[in-house]
Every structure is written in C-alpha cells, then in structure tokens.
Amino acid sequence: MNKNDYMYLDHAATTPMREVAFEAYKKTEMDAYANSSGGHALSRKAKNILEESREFISSCFGAAPNEITFTSGGTEADNWIIKTPFVDQEKRSELTTTQIEHEAVIASAENVDKKGYKVNFISCDEDGITNAEEFKQSINANTLIASVMYANNETGVIQPIKEMSQSVKDVNPKTLFHSDVVQAVATKKIDFHSLGIDSAAISGHKIGGPKGIGVMFLKTGYKIPSLLHGGKQELERRAGTVNVSGVAGLAAALKEQQQNLEEETKLIENERKIFETKIKEEFDVKIIGENVQRLCHISNIQFRNINSETLMVALDLNGMGVSRGSACASGAQKPSHVLKAMNVDDEVINNHLRFSFGWNIEIGDGNKSAEILKNTIKEII
C-alpha cells in the first residue's frame, strides 16, 4: 500500500523492507542461489556472502563472528536458548524470567515449567520495570538461565540490563544471562559484551530486513544443544539450508540502519513526541512509560472510556494501522499480559493502543498521525 494512502504505525510488529535489503536479498537469490554448504563455485559464492555478512552483523553488536548463528527469526532464537539447555539437566535446574517477556520467551519458559523445572516469573512495577530485588532473590546456585528482554515490545520500556546481568553474575557467575533484544535493535545501539549479555535473540524484519531471518547470539564458552536436527550447517549448531539471501538482506538493512541510526532515531523520537503532545493537548490520556526510559519508537497510549478494539477498527477505516496487545490466530485480540503484569486496571486494560514508528517515517508524520487519531476519536465518542 502506498505510504501516502495509509499511515502505518505498527513498526513494532514489523517494518517495511529497506530498499537496500531488498536489493541484497534479490541479488543473492539471483547470483548466489546455491546451497552455501556445497562444494562448487556457486556454493562458495553463497558461502562467502554468508560469512562476510556474519562478520559484519556480529560486529554491529560487538560480538565475534562465531558467536552468532542464523535462525528463522527471534522466536526460534528465544525457543532455542530457553528450552534446549533444560533437556539433559538435573531437575533442580531453574529458570528465571519476567512476567512481561515476549510470548516467544513466556511460552518457552512455560514449556520448561511443564517439564518439571522450577521457573520464576518476576513481577514488575507500574512503569513496567522489573522488580530488581525479587529478580536478584530468585537467582541461586541452580539458576541455569536468567532471561530479561532489553525493552518491551508493547510499551517500549527499557530494563536496566547491565545491572540485572551483574546482579545475576554476583550470585551465580555460571548462569547464562539471555536477553531478547528483538524490539530494542530497531532504535538502539547494543553491545552484548559490555552489557553482560551472554545470549540474545534478534529478528531481521524489525529493522527493515527480510522476514524469516534472525540471529541467535551465544557468547564464546557457552554451549547449548541444537533445536533443529539434520544437516551439519552453521558449525553443526543448526540444521537446515542456510537462508543466505535473508542473511544478506539483514546485513544490508543493518548497514543502512547503523550508518543512519542517530539521524533515524532523532527523527522518530521527534515525530513521536509531536504525536504524543498533540494527543495529550486534546484528550485525557496516559502514555505508558512516559517517565522512565523507553524505546523512542513506541507509544502505548491508554485512553479514557474508549474501547481500543473499536478505535483500532475506526483508525483502520480512516487509513491508519496500529495494534493492541498480541493478535491471536483468528484476529481477535486479547488483553495484554504485559499490561496485566503492570497492574493496569481491568476497567481500562482494553483501552490501550500501541502506535509504533519506524525507519521510513517522514517529517510531518507525527502531526498527520495525530490529526487522524484526533478525528477518529471524535467520531467514536
């Protein structure tokens, strides 16, 4: 759909692919389509693209090339790291995570719980910041993995990752500190080692890369079992023909993003602020995480006396795409587990909408979006 016809404010769900990413993807499919594990010239070409991309992508996060493995996306990376280490462990091993993780982590943790391991879901305060004391208390000699997302996908609220990692290491230096950084990489420069992150999940399509490609980062020294079994691709860590075109697309997207990160985030933040200011001027709304650190591209707004399901439909009809909590298979939407964990009242939990800006936002979009939202609210109240 033409950008001028439809105001897409759902970048936290996925972003349009950057032109450079699309070109790199297409070029690889056309010129280096061979299996990167093969033994002929075309395979070598694919393999070269794969490894060059790996070097570049890992460097963007301060990691070594052999610390990253390509996956089908963030969900696979989270599943891999959270679930597989518990396969052969003694039952006394424990997992600590938070109540506000992405479903990929929450559901993986529930799976670990079902297998009989102890899983601690740590609560958060009303701003969505994990309760530090409760988190620290849960770590012990048996804690195999502690998993905390860098920033929340529904609210954008950022966790004090470095401090949390440190508090884990203080108690148990062997614990793997995992962080789902899928949403954060959209607008944050992240260095895994300096933040104390031992493993991480990244998704290509949140930063203007292709869908179906992601990264599992695992610090040198840690070893986890494979999630997918089969061929001996990716240093025998992950079976399956490598999605080289996806990797090339992701590298190209990251390159453009990293070069323009400051400029991009400044524009996004500016337009988001204009949008929020205009809405606050006219309506009694609450912006989630307004007084804490949050990602600049996410604005989760609580409206008074407005059902967000109706508002979302009305916005769509007026040419603006936003989202509520997580969509279920049928398309109907459920109250958010993140907002529940933040103790948002039952009465207003269905009054939230997430507006998320992205790399292709232009000057004036904040204003334009605010106008559409204002007019739509007036229609439905």
- Identify which of residues 2 and 330 has a Cβ nearer to other proteins in the complex: 330
- Identify which of residues 9 and 184 has a Cβ nearer to other proteins in the complex: 9
- Identify which of residues 144 and 306 has a Cβ nearer to other proteins in the complex: 306
- Identify which of residues 220 and 310 has a Cβ nearer to other proteins in the complex: 310
Q: State in angstroms the smallest separation of the CB of 86 from other proteins.
A: 23
Q: State in angstroms the smallest separation of the CB of 179 from other proteins.
A: 27
Q: State in angstroms the smallest separation of the CB of 301 from other proteins.
A: 18
Q: State in angstroms the smallest separation of the CB of 357 from other proteins.
A: 24
C-alpha closest to that of 355 among 156, 211, 181, 210: 156
Per DSSP, what are the bridge partners of residue 286?
302
β-strand 199-203 against 214-218: which pairing, if any?
A: antiparallel
Q: Which of 60, 124, 296, 328 is catalytic?
A: 328
- Identify which of residues 4 and 305 has a Cβ nearer to other proteins in the complex: 305
Q: State in angstroms the smallest separation of the CB of 311 from other proteins.
A: 9
Residues that bind other proteins (CB under 8 A): 309-310, 313-314, 316-317, 328-334, 379-380
- Identify whether 328 is a catalytic site residue: yes
Q: Give catalytic residue positions.
A: 328
